[in-house]
Structure 1
Amino acid sequence: MHIEQEILDKVNVWLTPTFDEHTQETIKEIMTSSPKELEDSFYKNLEFGTGGMRGIMGIGTNRINKYTLGKNTQGLANYLKVSFPNEELKVAIAYDCRNNSDTLAKVVADVFSANGIKVFLFSEMRPTPELSFAVRHLGCHTGIVLTASHNPPEYNGYKVYWQDGGQIVPPQDAAVIAEIESLQYSDIKFDANESLIEYIDVAVDEAFRDSTIKNASFNTSTEARKNLKIIYTSLHGTSIKAIPGVLEKAGYTDVNIVAEQAEPNGNFPTVVSPNPEEPEALTMALALAEKIGGDIVVGTDPDSDRLGVAVRNTDGKMMLLNGNQTMVVMTAFLLEQWKKQGKLTGNEFIGSTIVSTPMMLELASAYDVECKVGLTGFKWIAKFIKDFPNQTYIGGGEESFGYMVGDAVRDKDAVAAILLVCEIAAQAKEKGSTLYQELLQMYVDFGFYKEHLISITKKGIEGANEIKQMMVELRQNPLKEINGQRVVCVEDYQSSKGKDFMNGEEFDILIPKSNVLIYYLEDGSKICARPSGTEPKIKFYFSVNCQIENITDVTEAEIQLDTKINNIIAAMQLN
């Protein structure tokens, strides 16, 4: 096959003495055995997306390896020195259970230390939210976690956090990227200053655990906590280092761990995907719940920022909740607790994202707090906390199974979220209800909202071009009607413009630009199209709703809403 000269020029750079012999020999082998793989490994540079930099491990500019991470780290080190002159720079580094995460974390630590920067490196794998906590706890200027979240085993990644404990956002992200892109691979300092690397573990663990319990406990009785039968799985990930200890100290004594998935393993041998968004991932936990009569199933992804939850429905069967459902249940509970404690002053806010359920806006209105809505990615919710220091953050989430309780951690945090959801379930059980019944009552009180997500995977260069063309078509030929419903408004977050077709007026969108389109229909339905920032996918989000008067109306209403979603998908020719 023909390979573009631009790609070959990149390959030739990697065949110079700047790169180790193993790297050079591997490239030579790929050049003859798999030109297609060579092209995919070098046709672009890995970029920062909504969750940092994430990609397949291997050799090349489009892969996660010591050189791509080393270059990122060198650029970040340079930027830190400019941003904080005459300060003793400090960085915290954590890593998850993935293959090579520990060795890549040490490479990152080496580069920082070679640049004279103090490094706090976790001695073993730890949850991502603990890294966010550690940045502020240790007074660091930045933090790094080596993780690819819920991606397949061949992936790894590099997430950058700033002083506030939140992921890096504008203007720092663009400035760091510019610094990285100005460097040559020969500029990377790999020779560690070991005296600047300090290993951390138990002391930070205890501070993180105590902070979690303080933020996510709400006067649940000792008896209620003892009576909740919890099934928990870490899906071979890092949460095993934190969640059992947090639940135990909080007073939950009936915690049943899925033993087959308790051992950290970057190959994730018992699941197709280590993602609690996928029902299959919690199969073993659900089976254990049925076997021993569990009340609630909770599971986490490999780096413990996402959580999956299953509870018993009105028929007593275990039912998986989606991210929007867990988000509204937790938010409503927090708002009610704050109200009971007299802490709502009108100066509080909750956080959500443009692709998450509009039900969050209804909750905010009912409790007279603000709902700040940002782009996809938890860094934007964390940014709200930094940008509005005079307002108090209560909690917030996104549809992709992430939630953040309070501001001690500035990223989605499955550790605190699991404690919180257990508090809700324990209190509900004590009063003769269930978490699911609490959710159904919310549908009566605030409206029945139903969401659905379609992810279309398109791999490689061709796939990236197909996704790009799909968004071009949606912009150049905007839909006027979907499923017999008029489009009443379109928001284009790439142009930062929206148009209200009811009055013909255009308006500005006052949040950062992003490649997202949202259609609003006259019946209140919402459709969002968004290419993923970290995976070769384009995602379509659907939200429909209706009003119900009683819990007994839920079954019929759900059938109607499911039918509406299916009809919308068919009308858009996405099935």
Structure 2
Amino acid sequence: MITENLSPLEKAKLWLGEGFDEETRNAVEMLIKSGSADLDDSFYRALEFGTGGMRGIMGVGTNRLNKYTLGQATQGLANYLLQQFPGEEIKVAIAYDVRNNSKEFGKLVADVLTANGIKVLLFKNHRPTPELSFTVRDKKCNAGIVLTASHNPPEYNGYKVYWNDGAQVVPPHDENIIKEVYSTEFDKVKFNGNDDLIEWIGEEQDDVYINACIENSLYQKDRTGYDDLNIVFTSIHGTTYTTVPKALEKAGFKKIDLVKEQMIPSGNFPTVESPNPEEPAALEMAMNLARITNADIVIGTDPDGDRLGIAVRNLDGEMQLLNGNQCNTILTYYILDQWKKAGKITGKEFIGSTIVTSDIFFDIAEKFGVACKAGLTGFKWIGKMIRDAEGTEKFVCGGEESFGFMTGDFVRDKDSCGSILLACEIAAWCKANGSSMFQYLIDIYKETGMYYEGLINVVKKGRTGAEEIQQMMVNFRENPPKEIAGSPVAEIRDYKEQTKTLAHGKETMDDIPKSNVLIYYTEDGTKVCVRPSGTEPKIKFYVSVKDQIASENDFKQKLQTLGAKIDQVKTDLNL
């Protein structure tokens, strides 16, 4: 039934029909009677099934995550899988995080698949997203699904789809799945599952995944300094309570202190305002424990365990949270240095990055004689790089500024477990050699130049907020700044129009798919990226500035001047 031209109220009344269960009908009826703005927001559109899946507030309505929108998405995926693999036994792995309703949603999704004759490998309990990615390849599945909303607030949940290479779906599969989803009516969803087609998996798969993380993420065969590194870890109520402590112990680290209150899985995230390891407040309890234990490194992960935040002692001995670019700079440089020492660099290797991530990775790649490939935001595009290069180039590692990293291609998504093992090895190695991770970062900056970044999020919620964000992008596109922080804009990259504007005119860019992203480069090397978030109601501004340093004193001084420059960028862009 075509409902695009119906009002939110008219759409809501359709949900009072017999095709919807009693609980749903009652909730919709209450929403209609309330006359609140929630009715409009719940039904004014269909919850977007984007190129990686969907994410939204849980509740009734076409613009909410619920039994019917999840069922529609899964029926569409099932239809596509049956088309792509005719006559085969199709297998799909399913994992879910700690969020409210995730476990129930996981079983619901499994039921729709098995009702379509598709075998399901379903985790018995919460598991991290990277373990799902690993399992798809390890168990030779045709696809994978994970129920998660990453670090969004508690009222959110989400649904991500992976293809048989363990990476999130990319063209043409993503677009074809979307077509199937949107052509599926709610009354065509098969909810009556067949439990005989479900294979339950759990701790035995954890062991296989953890062994792969250890094998692919560590380089010091003699475990230099492992015994002497003081670690504090928190899962911030998320899924990594199942894997990271066990992985650290199995790798040989001895001094591990856990933030016990936050090792309890909970979709309400009761000890933090936001379970986002990018934010210092999320690691406050871990930082407090680190002061007691005299820790060398503090690590926290987000609810689905793909991203990590790292804090280490700075030049003044105080714990400092590194940003995503700084973490990835340390990890990337170390890996490439180890590859170089082992004679593994032949000129056919590459690292992966994204267009909103720091350009320092191009400098690091050049130093070690490897390529750096940058794609659109999201690890799905790094996963595509790996698949496209198989047989011709070797992927080494990859990361993006939003606190995600992967230490090899055994997982095809950002992976906190392997990254944590690697980070702890680096911290232990630095300490054993009379240095620190922070000093290691400064030493890298002495070679590449010091890059410093700032992220500004402008939140615009609801229907009107989405419209405001789109208008902001139109304004930046039609009226670009001519100068930023005192330096003329020398280059504008418009990934929606696929054009690069330089002093002499426009050039075409067609090496990266279209996306609503703008990047401004100034003559002095300042970089400003503007894009709407694909998963949250916000528009994001990524600012990167650069200068040269020769010493630790230079670092402290440039920290202030570069920070002031980022503040000036905010002022110039009216942020």
Scaled by the length of structure 2, what TM-score is found? 0.98
Question: Distance between the aligned counterparts of 1:98 and 1:326, measured in 2?
Answer: 27
Question: Distance between the aligned counterparts of 1:217 and 1:438, measured in 2?
Answer: 18
Of stretches 44-53 and 323-332 in structure 1, the one that deviates more from structure 2 is: 44-53
Distance 1:301 1:50, change over 3 A: farther
Equivalent residue of 2:7, what SS? helix
Equivalent residue of 2:225, what SS? helix
Question: Distance between the aligned counterparts of 2:279 and 2:203, measured in 1?
Answer: 33
Q: Is 1:568–2:569 an aligned residue pair?
A: yes
User: Any residues of structure 2 matched to 1:39-78 within 5 Å, and which?
Assistant: 39-49=40-50, 52-78=53-79
Shift of 1:483: 2.5
Of stretches 249-258 and 508-517 in structure 1, the one that deviates more from structure 2 is: 508-517
Shift of 1:183: 1.1
Q: Give 5+ residue unaligned stretches, structure 2.
A: none
Q: Is 1:378–2:379 an aligned residue pair?
A: yes
Question: Distance between the aligned counterparts of 2:21 and 2:213, measured in 1?
Answer: 44
Equivalent residue of 2:457, what SS? strand
Of stretches 513-522 and 218-227 in structure 1, the one that deviates more from structure 2 is: 218-227
Could you tell me which amino acid in structure 1 is paired with residue 244 of structure 2? I
Could you tell me which amino acid in structure 1 is paired with residue 442 of structure 2? L
**Aligned positions, number:** 571
Question: Distance between the aligned counterparts of 2:463 and 2:377, measured in 1?
Answer: 24
Shift of 1:50: 6.5
Partner residue, 2:405: 403
Partner residue, 1:443: 445
Partner residue, 2:363: 362
Partner residue, 2:479: 477
Question: Distance between the aligned counterparts of 1:424 and 1:54, measured in 2?
Answer: 35
Shift of 1:506: 2.1
Partner residue, 1:297: 298
Partner residue, 1:94: 95
Question: Distance between the aligned counterparts of 1:132 and 1:486, measured in 2?
Answer: 44
Of stretches 485-494 and 215-224 in structure 1, the one that deviates more from structure 2 is: 215-224
**After superposition, what is the alpha-carbon deviation per residue over 1:487-529, rounded to whole angstroms, capped at 9, x for unaligned?**
101001111111112x324232410111100000010000011
Of stretches 6-15 and 403-412 in structure 1, the one that deviates more from structure 2 is: 6-15
Question: Distance between the aligned counterparts of 1:505 and 1:464, measured in 2?
Answer: 30
Question: Distance between the aligned counterparts of 1:125 and 1:447, measured in 2?
Answer: 42
Distance 1:243 1:450, change over 3 A: same
Shift of 1:202: 2.2
Shift of 1:48: 3.3
Question: Distance between the aligned counterparts of 1:499 and 1:507, measured in 2?
Answer: 9
Could you tell me which amino acid in structure 1 is paired with residue 63 of structure 2? N
Could you tell me which amino acid in structure 2 is paired with residue 379 of structure 1? K
User: Contact 2:51–2:175 (CA<8 Å) still a contact in 1?
Assistant: no
User: Contact 2:52–2:174 (CA<8 Å) still a contact in 1?
Assistant: no
User: Contact 1:92–1:135 (CA<8 Å) still a contact in 2?
Assistant: yes
Shift of 1:49: 4.2
Q: Give 5+ residue unaligned stretches, structure 1.
A: none
Q: Is 1:419–2:384 an aligned residue pair?
A: no
Q: Is 1:456–2:458 an aligned residue pair?
A: yes
User: Any residues of structure 2 matched to 1:105-116 within 5 Å, and which?
Assistant: 105-116=106-117
Shift of 1:559: 1.0
Partner residue, 2:535: 534
CA RMSD of aligned residues (A): 1.2
Shift of 1:157: 0.4
Could you tell me which amino acid in structure 2 is paired with residue 81 of structure 1? L
Partner residue, 1:491: 493
Distance 1:95 1:47, change over 3 A: same
Partner residue, 1:312: 313
User: Contact 1:220–1:427 (CA<8 Å) still a contact in 2?
Assistant: no
Question: Distance between the aligned counterparts of 1:223 and 1:371, measured in 2?
Answer: 30
Equivalent residue of 1:59, what SS? coil
Question: Distance between the aligned counterparts of 2:35 and 2:99, measured in 1?
Answer: 26
Partner residue, 1:193: 194
User: Contact 2:51–2:170 (CA<8 Å) still a contact in 1?
Assistant: no
| Aligned equivalent of 1:429, options 428, 431, 435 | 431
Question: Distance between the aligned counterparts of 2:158 and 2:112, measured in 1?
Answer: 17
| Aligned equivalent of 2:393, options 383, 391, 394 | 391
Shift of 1:52: 2.7
Shift of 1:351: 0.6
User: Contact 1:51–1:534 (CA<8 Å) still a contact in 2?
Assistant: no
Question: Distance between the aligned counterparts of 1:192 and 1:568, measured in 2?
Answer: 55
Question: Distance between the aligned counterparts of 1:353 and 1:64, measured in 2?
Answer: 29
Could you tell me which amino acid in structure 2 is paired with residue 335 of structure 1? L
User: Contact 2:51–2:174 (CA<8 Å) still a contact in 1?
Assistant: no
Equivalent residue of 1:102, what SS? helix
Question: Distance between the aligned counterparts of 2:460 and 2:52, measured in 1?
Answer: 19
User: Contact 1:50–1:534 (CA<8 Å) still a contact in 2?
Assistant: no
**After superposition, what is the alpha-carbon deviation per residue over 1:87-125, rounded to whole angstroms, capped at 9, x for unaligned?**
110000000111100000000000000000000000111
User: Contact 2:50–2:178 (CA<8 Å) still a contact in 1?
Assistant: no
User: Any residues of structure 2 matched to 1:156-235 within 5 Å, and which?
Assistant: 156-219=157-220, 221-222=222-223, 224-235=225-236
Scaled by the length of structure 1, what TM-score is found? 0.98
User: Contact 1:234–1:261 (CA<8 Å) still a contact in 2?
Assistant: yes
